[in-house]
Structure 1
Amino acid sequence: MKTNLIIFALFLSGLLYAQRPNMGGFVGKNASLHNGQISGKLVDAKSGEELAFANVRLFRKNDILMEGTITDEKGAFQFTKLGLADYYFLVNYIGYEETRVDISLNKNKTFVYLKKVKVEPGAVSLDEVSINEDRPVYESKMEKIVYNAENDLNEGLDDATDVLRKTPLLSVDLEGNVNLRGSSNIKFLVNGKESTFFSGSAADALQMIPAEQVKSVEVITSPTAKYDGEGGAGIINIITQQKQISGFKSTINGSVGTRVNKQSLDLNYGKGKFGISVRGRVRYGWPLSGEQTYHRF
């Protein structure tokens, strides 16, 4: 009898251990894929003075631009929710040399803080003085941050979605959904006015605006009284080269099979402040022939 009780206790403890959920492993691994962070502070290499409102752009090692930002009043910058990979960032500031810093994020180093990134002042020649007008790429104003796309090198960009990926404070996912400081509650304007371009999907509307038509993007984080209460996270005002813009986007998908059939049609057209969107979906199927046999034991 005593031997049987011992065997039963061992069996029960083994069963409980096998059914215990895995609290680490898979969850921790997935969570670490995009928990990388890079932050730091820019200072003058000679005086140590903090460099406020400097342009900082983050790239992957294969030269793909990830995102851009500007430093705050104390010269600080930060990139969050990064994948674990090799990166570098470029610092551009009027009157200073372009500075590159290489950084690697991995499972053993997911957070990198650069206390002082020293930026060298540009060389000044006393023999000859030439005045060149440098148009700023980024501007910080009282209620908004402005990305002047026309002053930046944007060769190879397709549409407004790509332009917004380079705009500070904004993040754009692979489907074209835009977030401002982590929130998608955004109001879109075109040339300071509401447009039916954005009456439907904002992601589709952005893809209808060619990149070369975007003059600048204003990210308004503290709207004044002239804006209504929509857009809890803020307002994105897209300034275009022409007052009247037009665009067209269409998507047709289809699949045919012996079990499930799916068809879809997406048409989007916009001109000026007017836009129209047409969508269609078809899905149908039929019962499968055959027989099923069940056995109960």
Structure 2
Amino acid sequence: MEATTCNGSGDDSPVFYLAGIPSLPEHLFLPIFFVFLLLYLLILLGNALILGAVVAEPSLHKPMYFFLINLSALDILFTTTTVPKMLSLFLFGDHFLTFLPACFLQMYLFHSFSCSEAFILVVMAYDRYVAICRPLHYPVHMTPQTNAALAASAWLTAFLLPVPAVVKTSQMAYNSIAYIHHCFCDHLSLVQSSCSDTTSQTLMGFCIAMVVSSLPLLLVLLSYAHILASVLRIKSREGRSKAFSTCSSHLLVVGTYYSSIAVAYVAYRADLPLDFHITGNVVYAILTPVLNPLIYTLRNKDVKAAITKMTCP
């Protein structure tokens, strides 16, 4: 991956300058730093507690919780890709990123982990579908080998999908100092910082984003359509309530994930100031990882009990 420069020799490696939030007054940098630091620590602590509780508690060694620890590990990795650099930017004014080692790696990991979350949520929806719609077949369909294969497929697919966009973007032309109007490197901000034609790259990014967002959402909705039809056939109110309760946490996580995507998408597409575009994407990068552990600990009594047992022996 070697990019040419528009105003320098092709042998010079450009560096990227992260502008952060352009109109944010400097005296607010420190408060923003502490807010992001607090959110990041909550993400690390909450998801680490879920990981530890599920691993340590034998009663949680079930498919649903196996996929939950995948989601927790993913949230830790996803935020670690972007938040430490944002913290450095707001605390030290550290705006620069070297071209290949840092910026494109950050872009690749950010989009890979984002795709992984969408696919893991699909796998979790499938798990709930089998548990509710085909309960007698659940032990046969959701074996440890099948669960591992489903999770591995979600991770592998997500790691392969962004590769074409990363390779193509790295071959675009950039000035020796390329200004990125963002707090971190993502595909669209990198494309917009290029001094070559961006039409094809913008279209590619849009198509990949639509596939990664729309197809998993369609599969999740399809799973829940079958679940709803199955639950409505249950005659007892208690049975229906119990069936819905097993899905409530996952539904809230799905709602949070796609709501944050919608915020980021509207911020980019609407005729809004640049700061709104940047803030929308930052919300997307932080909101879901913060809320996921809260949702699963507050609404899932088994996880809550395991965390209490682990922290208060």
TM-score normalised to the size of structure 1?
0.21
Identify which of structures 1 and 2 has the higher relative contact order when contacts are C-alpha pairs closer than 8 Å and 6+ apart: 2
TM-score (norm 2): 0.20
Give the number of the structure whose residues are more often helix, by fraction: 2
